[in-house]
Chain A
Amino acid sequence: MAEHIPVDKTFKLFIGGTFPRSESGRTFQIHSADGDLLANAAKASRKDLREAVKAARGAQADWAGRTAYNRGQVLYRVAEVMESRRAEFISVLTDMGQTAHSVRAEVDRSIDRWVWYAGWADKLHHVLGTVNPVAGPYFNFTFPEPTGVVVVAAPDDPPLLGLLSRIAPVIISGNTAVVTTGGPSALAAVTLAEVLATSDVPGGVVNVLTGDKAELLPWALGHMDVNSVDLTGEPNGLDDEAVATAADNVKRIVRSDPVGASPYMIGDFLEMKTVWHPIGR
């Protein structure tokens, strides 16, 4: 039998449940810590961002319309598939130069983190919602609703835990996400995209763009059909003027802890709706 020729993976974007190359045809090189070429990954353009936002918008109503229980189940399913691909995540992180011990710890924490957020799906309404005492014969409730389409700048470090810690609180409540990742975290992001594509997450709920975050984020900040931008993974790379364009459609700008976990981090991407209901007599 002839010798096997390895079939290397082409690292592509993840938009609307499919894996296209960048419409611009651009790629960028990802090197290992030792300087070896690991991949020519797709370098997303502003038009890829536009298509990803379109896909996220198209998927949002259905995703938010599912029961909280179902969204929790879908996220749990993602954790199951991540578990079965543990070796691949370990290999990707090891290539980027982490020690074997820290890699295993990060993969474990990442999967744990994801499952933890999955559990919040049907609990966050009780913790973040309120029944308000009002002066009048009314029941008065405040309850959380997803804000819509969120563009996430994924943290570069730690590559996997940071990525998952920022995506999970966005999508668990019914938002859809367009995740932009830069060089070091791109391999983890593409590997995660392959998990998402095979684990019951509807196409468009998470879209992954690899490339240059500083190039893509100003377009996200100005985009009138984006509801929120999470700048946690881009703490100081953008000028104030670009961030100010987000005010045109009153986007939420979120800057948070790249590895933290809290129900209030889910709350960063929620709108609070208050309703008054007459009390019958």
Chain B
Amino acid sequence: MMNSTAFLPTTDGGSVRTTPVDAVALEARAAALCTRSIKTTSKRAALHTTIRCIDLTTLEGIDTPGKVASLCQKAIRPDPANPTIPSVAAVCVYPEMVEHAVTSVSGTTVVVASVAGAFPAGMSTPAVRVADIADAVGRGAGEIDIVLNRSAFMSGDLRRAYDEIVAAKEACGTAHLKVILETGELGSYEQVRRASMLAMAAGADFIKTSTGKIPKAATHPMVLNMAEAIRDYADQTGVIVGLKGAGGIRTAKQAWHHLVIVGETLGSDWLTPERFRLGASSLLNDVLMQIQKLDTGHYSGPNYVTVD
């Protein structure tokens, strides 16, 4: 087992160092940032930023081309009655749905992201996973979400976990690579910090909290922990890496607390879709209802947004 200040190699032959995590202080800081009150015009700006940073996601075994098409329409114009609402950043689907999504979003700013590499467990053989990634890219995915090899990582084989991300990055070509750490399975903040540094050193464009397939997902302290890892990495290498929170983010309030955490840790430069994403499905409707409340002065309800 490596100790917490061990060096990890980077793809350009250098190395990065992981810093220890004070779990109590981390949770206290996240809790303090989540008490931030955001009202009126700031709230509207936060809600719009949230929408622009959403990866609108459907990852179900019962996804159909029709469902993906309607999801894409919602991604392009989230509130049919209100053209001032921006489009989301991307739609996130399984590889089989990529072509349908690409057709639906063509000519818009919305990008198609695909999970790949035997999502969500990632337990196929390396050749199959790389082929899965290349296939999704070939079908038109502009962003690829893969999972960290937790089996290798947790058994201490950091080299294998690292090499597989390097291979995935190569298979992506020009597509952006997001590496899912599945923080709920890694056991401690320290492990997540180490996995974050490993994924960034191996060439991830984004690091992402969770698959959304297990209950423990994008908690506020965990997002703060990964934002601090990104700050460390930028300090040490000058390389900018994005952050994606996913799993369990359902309310507008949770989302703007994430914005506060990222803004306070990495700066407002990070509050753009190029550097920050929220993977979500039901979140979008809650944000739209909040905006309707700001517009009308009355609380809205699920009858006044489109069904997911």
Contact = CB atoms under 8 A, between A and B. Distances in A.
A222 interface: yes
Interface string A120-131: 000000000000
A50 B298 contact: no
Interface stretch (B66-74, B108-116, B135-143, B300-308): B300-308
Nearest to B298: A222
Contacts of A145: none
A10 B117 CA distance: 54
A222 B295 CA distance: 13
A219 interface: yes
A225 B303 contact: yes
Contacts of A249: 301, 303
Contacts of A224: 292, 298-301, 303-304
A52 to B, nearest CB: 11
Of the candidates A57, A223, A224, A248, the one having the most CB atoms from chain B within 10 angstroms of its own CB is A224
A51 B14 CA distance: 52
A41 B297 CA distance: 28
B279 to A, nearest CB: 23
Majority secondary structure of chain B interface residues (helix, strand, loop or mixed): loop
A253 to B, nearest CB: 16
B254 to A, nearest CB: 15
Interface in A103-146: none
A245 interface: yes
B287 to A, nearest CB: 15
A249 B298 CA distance: 11
Contacts of B297: 222
Contacts of B303: 224-225, 249
A79 interface: no
Interface in A227-260: 245, 248-249
A56 B87 CA distance: 32
Contacts of A225: 299-303
B38 to A, nearest CB: 14
Nearest to A219: B299
Interface in B247-263: none
Interface string A43-58: 0000000100100010
A256 B84 CA distance: 44
A141 B297 CA distance: 40
Interface string A211-224: 00000000100111
A245 B298 CA distance: 9
Contacts of A223: 298-299, 301
A248 B298 contact: yes
A21 to B, nearest CB: 16
Contacts of A219: 298-299
Interface in B270-308: 292, 297-304
Nearest to B302: A225
A246 to B, nearest CB: 10
Nearest to B299: A223
A110 B300 CA distance: 35
A248 B299 CA distance: 12
A183 B201 CA distance: 63
A275 B25 CA distance: 62
B295 to A, nearest CB: 12
A224 B295 CA distance: 13
Contacts of B301: 57, 223-226, 249
A205 to B, nearest CB: 18
B282 to A, nearest CB: 13
Nearest to A248: B298
A10 B299 CA distance: 29
Contacts of A222: 297-299
Interface of A: 50, 53, 57, 219, 222-226, 245, 248-249
25 contacts: A50-B299, A53-B299, A57-B301, A57-B302, A219-B298, A219-B299, A222-B297, A223-B299, A223-B301, A224-B292, A224-B298, A224-B299, A224-B300, A224-B301, A224-B303, A224-B304, A225-B299, A225-B300, A225-B301, A225-B302, A225-B303, A226-B301, A245-B298, A249-B301, A249-B303
Q: Which 9 A-B pairs give the minimum distances between C-beta atoms?
A: A225-B301, A222-B298, A224-B301, A223-B299, A224-B300, A50-B299, A224-B304, A224-B298, A223-B298
Interface of B: 292, 297-304
Given A219-B299, A225-B300, A249-B301, 5 more contacts: A50-B299, A223-B298, A224-B300, A225-B299, A249-B303
